[in-house]
């Protein structure tokens, strides 16, 4: 089915000036960018976005990292977009990511891991709504 998923290019990859290279991977693999915005997250916005991880030991470092610089946030649309984006990203820990994946090529550590992607249909809907009012999404 055609799906939408939320993607974030994290501060490390924005600082490395590889937004275009990452967008190119989405586009050449059948994912269309249907909404996008660059934003420097406030602490409150980052904590809200990652609220499901609040009890995890890595939460504080994750939030600090995500507010360390601007991020590029986009909605990707395409056949099986959620799983396809996760395949393109590779494993959360770049040391475990398969060669040729975004994280293998651009990430430095499990925190500075270049990209985020929604992990399931329910989280994709919540994450898209967090950053984009429906009226600002253009799929045609």
Pairing of strands 115-117, 71-79: unpaired
Structure tokens at 62: 């994750």
Query: Apex CA 31: angle with CA 27 and CA 35, to 5°?
Result: 95
Q: Which residues pair with 3 in a beta bridge?
A: 78
Radius of gyration, alpha carbons of the chain: 14
To ligand CMP, the closest distance from the beta carbon of 84 in angstroms equals: 15
To ligand CMP, the closest distance from the beta carbon of 112 in angstroms equals: 8
Q: Is 53 a catalytic residue?
A: no
Count other Cβ atoms within 10 Å, centred on residue 30: 13
Catalytic residue among 4, 25, 84, 116: 116
The verdict on whether residue 10 carries a ligand-binding annotation is yes
To ligand CMP, the closest distance from the beta carbon of 13 in angstroms equals: 12
- Nearer to ligand CMP by C-beta: 57 or 133? 57
Task: Give the binding site for ligand CMP (CB under 6 A).
Answer: 53, 58, 62, 92, 110-111, 113, 116
Show binding-site residues for ATP.
Answer: 10, 58, 86, 92, 103, 113
Active site residues: 116
């Amino acid at each position: 089915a055609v799906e939408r998923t939320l993607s974030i290019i994290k501060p490390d990859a924005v600082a490395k000036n590889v937004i275009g290279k990452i967008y190119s991977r989405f586009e050449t693999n059948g994912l269309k960018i249907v909404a996008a915005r660059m934003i420097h997250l406030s602490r409150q916005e980052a904590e809200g976005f990652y609220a499901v991880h609040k009890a995890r030991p890595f939460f504080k470092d994750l939030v600090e990292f995500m507010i360390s610089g601007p991020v590029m946030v986009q909605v990707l649309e395409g056949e099986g977009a959620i799983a396809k984006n996760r395949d393109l990203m590779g494993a959360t820990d770049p040391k475990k990511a398969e060669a040729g994946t975004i994280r293998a090529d651009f990430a430095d550590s499990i925190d500075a891991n270049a990209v985020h992607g929604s992990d399931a249909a329910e989280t994709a809907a919540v994450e898209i709504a967090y950053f984009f009012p429906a009226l600002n999404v253009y799929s045609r």
